[in-house]
Structure 1
């Protein structure tokens, strides 16, 4: 319990709390493009993170055999290490690494690639589409994990209306407003032309090597709305979660399912599909929504009412994300977790499917334990909310992966 409490300690900004130790990370840089040149004599950086905050940075050089080694590292399971190097102007990153007292050494491989301007191998490996609402507006979040079946990093091609090469793109539904992207901004990394948003960052070969997280609102004038999207690439796996409340009717074309499932006290209806071809369209028709200025029917029903108006109280202003985030969906926290993990390029967790139920149960136990600590006054509200959001975000991610693999 003492170690658990220490995980909530907030250190001064001038002191990371990082202490050297017996830890060792050994790595190899591999040329992933057949016929490409050997990779050596380039710098590689190792960063250590605690709770998604950097605490230490080390540098070394890849030797003539493509190997590198970092020694004197803290062997602490709370620290996540990432090794990163630049090749051909593109950043490549190792999987996340952990060192512990019982296993103070880790080995990793970083693959680098030559480049291409051919987009034929692009696909969407996983797409998660989550729909909530407040009176007068849908609140939508999407997580799009792009991958490539090729053996070269895709550096982009030109499209009309954009002055730099773009790599992948996705369509915004008609009427989307308040568009927010976690890993960049419109007009900088991301460019919008009509209803299409394009990314300008390279796409590395492999499964789900680029993650884009977008949130937006879709206002509606009465009590119904249409939501549609066409996917420009093949989609290996997609699921749609629509908050399930009394009186809300949903008709979905392009996906199958619609059964209700519970997540942390909130019910969602879930639709899914696999192996959709490029240019597949998904249409969502919702009715029975609360009109602008009406009361949210969940406010007094014991559902996701936290942060929503009380029963009978009108929503006076359009505040796109307050009801959604405070309602417990925690997609904003999930976006922060995944955005951090994917910020430097290719980061993969390599979690085996058979481990997911165990991880889900452990996260639920930790959430309950954290709630007990807060109730006992052993952690303050800010620490409780921050840690709880991260745990619930990870729990949501695992639940979605289990749903993907079981079809339920």
Structure 2
């Protein structure tokens, strides 16, 4: 087969999709490099009354992200939860570890190569429990960008787990959604997708939020958004990009002040009060555009679906890309930080109520994620060009 730029791009895309759906172990490569060094690691159990031997003799998967893709190695912990890997490739750019404990996957931080050679990889697992009787979602933010025949959405779920055990919750998902994808490949690995389309996700101790992308097809001009709730929710914010005469209405759905994001996109802001488990949040979105958008939808699904994988696959090239554009990247980050600071100050001065503050803060975080999508996509394109 002739290896050309198109072949390289296809190969990169295939690797991206494998990584994005959690098949990190599929892409095994034999790396060529200098003499290997050793990676040290420690498995901990963060539950105070965990069995003393809970971290002993457990398999640990170590991923080494090299120029040719991820390399997977499996080692076992000793009686104290320590593990090490001597068969290390030295041309890797980053390392991280994964452990499956009581059917839940746990990960270390993704560590750059210079740090991975000197500091241990640490993975903390927890004992499991059922959902606490008093558990509720603090707030759900659904941010919808209107495209012809499809909403490109981001959902931010605020949670709290003050215990030292982990539990699974069903994510609040709109009915008739098409795709759900997490921004971090590790979160994708943690998610448990069920046959009926529901998704269970572990809430770790000290967790604060769960973020994922979502696409929802619709038939114009009107669409009823319905989101069944399996847990109590403290409040719901709905943000819809302002396009033509698009608007939203619903029982107990109150309009707030429009919000303008850092890139100039305007959003209509709506807030709903707390909802009980077993109810369904609904909103009627009217005057939607009807032009065909099939190709754009396919592109979005690829980009959102490959976000975590792109970040890993394109890491070497993205580092070069980030250095070349360091001023812009730093400026964008600083702009978002300043915007969040201004928002916090306005809330402290009582210029915004709680729902408006939470909605606008979620929108800014969503915009930051869009920036990550753009940077990762650019890095992947550069990777394909280099391979060509």
Q: TM-score, normalised by structure 2?
A: 0.57
More helix as a share of residues: 2
Aligned residues: 294
Residue of structure 2 aligned with 1:393, choices 348, 373, 386: 373
Partner deviation per Cα, 1:327-363 (whole Å, 9 max, x = no partner): xxx5652342248889xxxxxxxxxxxxxxx897259
Any conservation in 1 of the 2:95–2:116 contact (CA below 8 Å)? no
- 1:114 aligned residue: 127
Please list the CA deviations of residues 30-74 of structure 1 after superposition, one character each: whole Å capped at 9, or x if unmatched: 2122211122222212012358x8521223222222222334644
2 CA distance for matches of 1:270 and 1:109?
Answer: 43
> Structure 2: which 5+ residue stretches go unaligned?
1-7, 16-26, 183-187, 313-325, 334-368, 378-388
Q: Which residue of 2 aligns with 1:170?
A: 172
Query: Equivalences for 1:298-377 in 2 at 5 Å?
Result: 315=292, 321-324=294-297, 330=300, 332-338=302-308, 361-362=329-330
Deviates more, 1:268-277 or 1:19-28: 268-277
Displacement of 1:85: 1.8
Q: TM-score, with normalisation over the residues of structure 1?
A: 0.54
Aligned 1:54-93 pairs, distance under 5 A: 54-71=69-86, 73-74=88-89, 79-93=93-107
| d(CA) in 1 for partners of 2:136, 2:309 | 21
Aligned to 1:44: 60
CA distance in 1, matches of 2:243, 2:132: 41
Offset at residue 243 of structure 1 (A):
3.1
Partner of 1:286: 285
- Residue 269 (1) aligns with residue 267 (2): yes
After TM superposition, the structure 1 stretch with the greater mean CA deviation from structure 2, 34-43 or 270-279, is: 270-279
Return the alpha-carbon distance in structure 2 between the equivalents of residues 103 and 169 of structure 1. 34
Provide the C-alpha distance between the structure 2 equivalents of 1:63 and 1:217, rounded to a whole number of angstroms.
50
Q: Is the 8 A contact 1:128 1:143 kept in 2?
A: yes
**Separation in 1 of the partners of 2:119 and 2:283?**
46
* Structure 1: segments with no counterpart, 5+ residues: 1-6, 156-166, 297-314, 343-357, 366-388, 398-408
The CA distance in 1 between the partners of 2:96 and 2:275, in whole Å, is: 35
- Return closer, same or farther for 1:331/1:225 CA change in 2, 3 Å cut-off: same
Q: C-alpha distance in 2, partners of 1:205/1:332?
A: 32
Q: Which of the numbers 126, 136, 152 marks the counterpart of 2:165?
A: 152
Does 1 or 2 have the higher relative contact order (CA < 8 Å, sep 6+)? 2
Compare the two structures and name the one with the higher strand fraction: 1
Deviation for aligned residue 1:394: 5.7
Match of 1:139 in 2: 151
SS at match of 2:172: strand
**For 1:138 and 1:205, how far apart are their aligned partners in 2?**
35
Secondary structure, aligned partner of 1:111: strand
Q: Secondary structure at the match of 2:243?
A: coil
Match of 2:49 in 1: 35
Distance 1:273 1:15, change over 3 A: same
Please give the per-residue CA displacement for 1:173-199, whole angstroms capped at 9, x wherever unaligned.
4xx36x234489xxx93243xxxx533
Please give the residue correspondences for 1:9-28 in structure 2 after superposition, counting only pairs within 5 Å.
Answer: 17=31, 19=33, 24-28=38-42
